[in-house]
Structure 1
Amino acid sequence: MNTMVFLILFPIIVAFLLLILPQLFIRKIIVGASSIAIIAASLFLVVQYFQTGAVYFEAGEYAHEISLGMFAIEVALAALIIGISIRYKQFLAALLMLIGAVLVIWFEVAHGSEIHATHNLFVDNLSLIMTLIIGIIGTLIAVYALGYMEDYHHHHPKMKNRTPFFFFIVFAFLGAMYGVVFSNNLMWLLFFWEITTFCSFFLIGYSREEIAIKNAFRAAKMNILGGIGFTVAIIFLYTQAHTVELDKLPTLASAAVLLPAALLAFAGITKSAQMPFSSWLLGAMVAPTPVSALLHSSTMVKAGVYLIVRLSPVFAFVEGGSTIGLFVALVGAVTFVLTSFMAISQSDAKRVLAYSTIANLGLIVVCAGIGSYELAWAAVMLIIFHAIAKSLLFLSVGTIEHNLGDRIIESMDGLIVKMPKVAIGVVIGICGMFLAPFGMLISKWAALEGIVAANPILTVFIAFGSAATLFFWTKWLGKVLMIKDKPADFTTKIPATESFTLSLLAFFTVAVCIGFPAISYFALEPFIQAIYGETYLLGQGNMIILLLMMGLIIVLPLRLLTYGNKLNYKAQYLAGTNLAEREKFYGSMGITRDLSLRSFYLDSIFGEDKLFKLGVVSCILLIIIMIGVGV
């Protein structure tokens, strides 16, 4: 248990050190050293417990005092958010925060002294998988941010430099996420859950520009609403079943657990940015790129799907739970297909990644909602591969933006020539999301197989959504690999911390894909077996095919290192008189024009205005029915 406590508290201590020691040199030392310590502790925890199954801890004789301390901090932070909301005239955010705080205070006053959780903390293989995602990817994002934030303020000279506060929030975020995945006491889980909401609020609003403040409050309002649902779930669960422990939910009578399960799923839906709450994650794109990577890959949204995966046994085993799980899955399915299509119409790389994230989270929600052992396996695998590949892509886009001047996909023509190493990282990340034999596609195939067996109607959503992902990823891949002349005046400036992080994440993407059978066998299959009494096994025939294809994962990056060299360019007709420069020609009226190739975005068909309203209305109705079934 000491290692778990260390992982929760140490990042928070580091956060305060980074806040009070603003010097750049000291910051680099603290971030580097603390990242190594967090990764080492995460690996040590995995070594300690990956063969033990679930292990539960009471958290000692001071558990009640710890609960009171969490309560005091939560109330203080709620008061802070209410004050900030009133200052910016965001009265709805203040009201929602006040409602949540009143519910927590009432519950603590009425029942706090009598609540006793037998096990406040726990660790199992899913916790360990999340530990590695938080510890490795989260800290690599922090290391990347060392160089990025210098460039960020260089490109935004009028913006107040609040970098120490930025790193304070980042490390507090990591500590809170460890608390989320180790908490068995739902009151403790709610505390850490709300801390992630507060952290995202401050990170999204980092620049304090009008659009950033607006989007920060949007994220706060939606996630506070989810927090209210979480709080009501705990109150109902305790008053009906006299427990606040996560592991006991699948063993309770349906009358006591159905409504809490529905409300907890609602909280997970808001946190994981499923429709109708997807707009908060899109709005988070105004924040510095490391924030986007942090929210999308290792912290905020992963907390949402983590909770829904934890509810899978309730959906599978409790009478009536499958009906609630079906509506959870339908919300995920609608989100998956509509956001996949909306991604087609986007030219901003970060918005493509945002919609892709929401879509893939939707697929995870589908798997967790149905709750079968095959789909529980697929859900966790999707979490792993998505976390690594998406962090690589977001951080790559951040580096590209600082060198090209924007993050528009159309500007990435010939990136393999301009920035070959970064381009290779982008290619690995994109391939990791949709191309065989990368792990994301394998997980999607397992998900599709399980969904066909469990609910064939949902297969339609998954098939169309997957087709859309093929469309927008292929468009982007073509832009990056296009061969063009490198502009004579083009230079790159990539800080060493960024290069290091991108290289390591690219390596991890490949390594995890190669090692996914071992991950499944040693980590995931025992977890599924312990819960369901049976587990998902990869077929021998599929394994042989996949092993033969694994060579592609190694050959592709190596081939790209020499891609575009020694090409024999041929003159081509460019709708005018060709010039000596291969990509210029005389057009009409004697005007010199540049050759340009543009992708199809089909905005008239897949535009946000057309599809977003459909998704919002559909998912609101599904959520209302889901909660109604619980009642």
Structure 2
Amino acid sequence: MYLISFLIVFSLVAGVAIAMAPTVGVQARRIRFSVGALAVASVVLALLHASRGPEFYALSAWLTSVLDWLFIAGGLGLAALLLWFCRRIKPGEWYIPVLILAQTGLMLYAELVGEHPEVAHPFYVDSFSVLMALIIAIVGGLICVHAIRYMHDYHAHAAGQHEAGDVDASQQRPERSRSLFFGMLFLFLGAMFGIVFANNLLWLFFFWEVTTLCSFWLISYSRTDEAIRNGFRALGFNLIGGVSFAAAIVWLTHGPGLRTWELDQLVAGGSALALIPAVLIAVAGLSKAAQMPFSSWLLGAMVAPTPVSALLHSSTMVKAGVFILIKLSPVFHDTYAGLLLSLVGGLTFLVTSLVAVNQRNAKRVLAYSTIANLGLIVMCAGVGTAATMWAAILLILFHAVAKALLFLAVGTTEHLIGSRDIEDMEGLVYRRPRIAAMLLVGMLGMFLAPFGMLLGKYTCFQAFLSMEVMWGDGLMLAAILAFGSAPTLFFWSKWMGKLVAVPRRQQPSSAPIPRDEAIALFSLTALTYVACALFPLADTGFVMPYTQHLASLGLIAEPSFAMPWETILLMSVMLAGLFLMPLAFWLRPPKYSEVSGYLSGANVDGSASYRGAMGAERLVESRGYYLSGFIEEGKVVRVGLIGCGSLMLLMLMGALL
């Protein structure tokens, strides 16, 4: 209990201390110290609770009462702050303050009207929440370290200082916006710790809405009109989920059947008693996880600084959405609501994987990839078997590490070459071999790393084909998984091909990667390797204890899936060779020599150009296939939005009726 309290409270205190730092140098030292403290605390927590069942913690009556009123006051303050931000909304965004008032009214009705359920254990810890805490503290912390120098360069570029690296600002007073930025990052981490350890649904809801506030502020950070509009879009979509979550709490307080404010009791209620509130909370999870029809807010978040994108995509926000869905997964097992939830995730996975093929902007590729992989996790959560929960939790782990590495590496690459266009990264392995190696490791970690995404999908196939909710349901989900995985392989391979192609562009800046950015990138690269190498420990220490405990309660069937060790050994040997390739690029940078080959005409000396039959000079260049003639982003996305919106409405109607 002390470590849980430390992780939540220390994050908040650290955020305040960092925001009030007198100089940039002091601020940087406080960030590094705070990240180290959170990482150590999370590792100690993991050592104490790995391979163990859940533990629930009770608080004294007076402390529980005090915290209840503090959370009520905090919720009202949060609503007031969001309403104050709404002074900048446009007429078309009128629904945002309405949602804030509706959400606040529902929560006050649940908390203050009539009798409400008693909460015996407001906090808990289990192996799944410990794994999430490790992701939040270590991956999220490294993103904060990367942001130290990145935000210095970000503000320098915004001010027109092209050589930001030559400016020594360690003794300068940090800008107010920069101080608030880092304070908000640590508030975000503290709220995420609250989400993964809170068993009291009202307290969990408060932390849930704090992440909504943080994401809105961080997305709007640049204060441009585009950033503000995208921030309000994220706020609006997440408030829809918040209203649905609040409605679930009202149902659990005043509705028929199950009455509880404890998450574990809600899950234990099963589909017979808990399906309606579980479906309402699932809508909140879908909005937070940026699943269609809510996905556009995560794409709009790309206007924020790169550390914000990395944080939203890897260790916070979207992971909160899939976390709560996996927690409720046993309730959805063998139900039509669960099947519809899986179809929402499956259609999102298929559509966004296809659309990612069209993208040249590296951050948009990563954004669509994130939405797609979260869709795969939602598919698993809807099925609700031990095998799919096993796959979903491991997908969260590998996705968090690899996607954080990719986002931060793309941000650093953009500063080095002045572009985030994939075509401009041609030959990066020759020009900047270290950053190219990091990008390659992240990409391989997304779809080829041993025991990672690949084995997760293998397990999903097995689980889908054993479904029996309705005729052909498992085959349909397996087909979606197969057709959605093919474009995933295509766009990752295409990007990797540009990185290793012979460069035909000017050399980027030869300046070294700044220290804090290098520390974060090297650490995440190492974590990607470690996560693959120590997969069995993650399985036995965090995943299997969680599914076995649910099986012991009779909520899911006993885990029975297994993969022959010969298959694991063969795949490990094959894929490890591919995974070690970037390391070879790093240790021994490849070289190339330019030669003048035949260029379909009269070569122009000193360039990759030639003169054609009419004397016009033409440049020889290679470009990736984007299939824009076959896959029209607007039409495909429209189909996905309509389809997922319809499936979600059917899920709600089916549960209520």
For the aligned pair, the TM-score class normalised by the smaller chain equals over 0.9
CA distance in 2 between counterparts of 1:573 and 1:501 reads 44
In structure 1, the residue matched to 2:47 is 47
CA distance in 1 between counterparts of 2:369 and 2:523 reads 22
Residues 151-550 of structure 1 aligned to structure 2 (within 5 Å): 151-157=153-159, 162-239=177-254, 240=256, 241-252=258-269, 254=271, 256-316=273-333, 322-435=335-448, 437=450, 439-454=452-467, 455-484=474-503, 487=506, 490-533=509-552, 534-535=558-559, 536-549=561-574
CA distance in 1 between counterparts of 2:590 and 2:406 reads 25
Aligned-partner residue type, residue 617 of structure 1: I
CA distance in 1 between counterparts of 2:117 and 2:66 reads 12
Residues 123-162 of structure 1 aligned to structure 2 (within 5 Å): 123-157=125-159, 162=177
Does 407-416 or 553-562 show the bigger shift? 553-562
Aligned length: 626
Query: CA 1:305 to 1:50, structure 2 compared with 1: closer, same or farther past 3 Å?
Result: same
Three-state SS of the structure 2 residue aligned to 1:290 is helix
Deviations 1:55-82 (A, max 9, x none): 0012333112112101111111111111
Runs of 4+ in 1 over 4 A off after TM superposition: 158-161, 587-593
Query: CA 1:486 to 1:600, structure 2 compared with 1: closer, same or farther past 3 Å?
Result: closer
Deviations 1:347-379 (A, max 9, x none): 100000000000000000000100011111000
Query: CA 1:376 to 1:254, structure 2 compared with 1: closer, same or farther past 3 Å?
Result: closer
Aligned-partner residue type, residue 402 of structure 1: H
In structure 1, the residue matched to 2:165 is none
CA distance in 2 between counterparts of 1:478 and 1:238 reads 56
Deviations 1:185-226 (A, max 9, x none): 111110100000000000000001000000000000000110
TM-score (norm 1): 0.96
The answer to whether the aligner puts 1:66 opposite 2:91 as a matched pair is no
- Residues 417, 485 of structure 1: 8 Å contact kept: no
Aligned-partner residue type, residue 69 of structure 2: L
- Residues 57, 122 of structure 2: 8 Å contact kept: yes
Residues 100-119 of structure 1 aligned to structure 2 (within 5 Å): 100-111=103-114, 114-119=116-121
Query: CA 1:525 to 1:586, structure 2 compared with 1: closer, same or farther past 3 Å?
Result: same
Deviations 1:510-546 (A, max 9, x none): 1111111221122211211111242243322222213
Does 12-21 or 518-527 show the bigger shift? 518-527
Does 96-105 or 245-254 show the bigger shift? 245-254
Identity %: 41
- Structure 2 unaligned spans of 5+: 162-174, 468-473, 553-557
Three-state SS of the structure 2 residue aligned to 1:597 is coil
Three-state SS of the structure 2 residue aligned to 1:604 is coil
CA distance in 2 between counterparts of 1:356 and 1:551 reads 23
- Residues 275, 615 of structure 1: 8 Å contact kept: yes
Three-state SS of the structure 2 residue aligned to 1:478 is helix
Three-state SS of the structure 2 residue aligned to 1:257 is helix
- Residues 236, 260 of structure 1: 8 Å contact kept: yes
Offset of residue 148 of structure 1: 0.4
Query: CA 1:7 to 1:603, structure 2 compared with 1: closer, same or farther past 3 Å?
Result: same
Q: 2:629 aligns with which of 584, 599, 604?
A: 604
CA distance in 2 between counterparts of 1:266 and 1:141 reads 28
Offset of residue 433 of structure 1: 1.0
Aligned-partner residue type, residue 166 of structure 1: F
Query: CA 1:305 to 1:488, structure 2 compared with 1: closer, same or farther past 3 Å?
Result: closer
TM-score (norm 2): 0.92
- Residues 21, 27 of structure 2: 8 Å contact kept: yes
Does 154-163 or 386-395 show the bigger shift? 154-163
Query: CA 1:562 to 1:31, structure 2 compared with 1: closer, same or farther past 3 Å?
Result: closer
Query: CA 1:489 to 1:406, structure 2 compared with 1: closer, same or farther past 3 Å?
Result: closer
- Residues 215, 284 of structure 1: 8 Å contact kept: yes
In structure 1, the residue matched to 2:598 is 573
CA distance in 2 between counterparts of 1:25 and 1:568 reads 44
In structure 2, the residue matched to 1:99 is 102
- Structure 1 unaligned spans of 5+: none
Does 414-423 or 484-493 show the bigger shift? 484-493
Offset of residue 88 of structure 1: 3.0
Three-state SS of the structure 1 residue aligned to 2:124 is strand
Offset of residue 589 of structure 1: 5.8
Three-state SS of the structure 1 residue aligned to 2:294 is coil
Three-state SS of the structure 1 residue aligned to 2:121 is coil
Query: CA 1:163 to 1:249, structure 2 compared with 1: closer, same or farther past 3 Å?
Result: same
- Residues 450, 576 of structure 2: 8 Å contact kept: no
CA distance in 2 between counterparts of 1:387 and 1:576 reads 49
In structure 1, the residue matched to 2:470 is none
CA distance in 2 between counterparts of 1:348 and 1:140 reads 24
In structure 1, the residue matched to 2:169 is none
Offset of residue 448 of structure 1: 2.0
Aligned-partner residue type, residue 261 of structure 1: A
Offset of residue 488 of structure 1: 5.6
Deviations 1:118-163 (A, max 9, x none): 1111000100110110010000000000010011112211798611
Offset of residue 552 of structure 1: 1.6
Aligned-partner residue type, residue 629 of structure 1: G
Three-state SS of the structure 2 residue aligned to 1:561 is helix
- Residues 437, 553 of structure 1: 8 Å contact kept: no
Offset of residue 430 of structure 1: 0.7
Three-state SS of the structure 2 residue aligned to 1:585 is strand
Does 84-93 or 156-165 show the bigger shift? 156-165
CA distance in 2 between counterparts of 1:40 and 1:17 reads 19
Query: CA 1:401 to 1:489, structure 2 compared with 1: closer, same or farther past 3 Å?
Result: closer
Three-state SS of the structure 1 residue aligned to 2:563 is coil
Aligned-partner residue type, residue 93 of structure 1: I
- Residues 82, 97 of structure 1: 8 Å contact kept: yes
Query: CA 1:91 to 1:518, structure 2 compared with 1: closer, same or farther past 3 Å?
Result: same
In structure 1, the residue matched to 2:555 is none
Offset of residue 630 of structure 1: 1.2
- Residues 437, 583 of structure 2: 8 Å contact kept: no
- Residues 273, 280 of structure 1: 8 Å contact kept: yes
- Residues 415, 423 of structure 1: 8 Å contact kept: yes
Aligned-partner residue type, residue 459 of structure 1: A
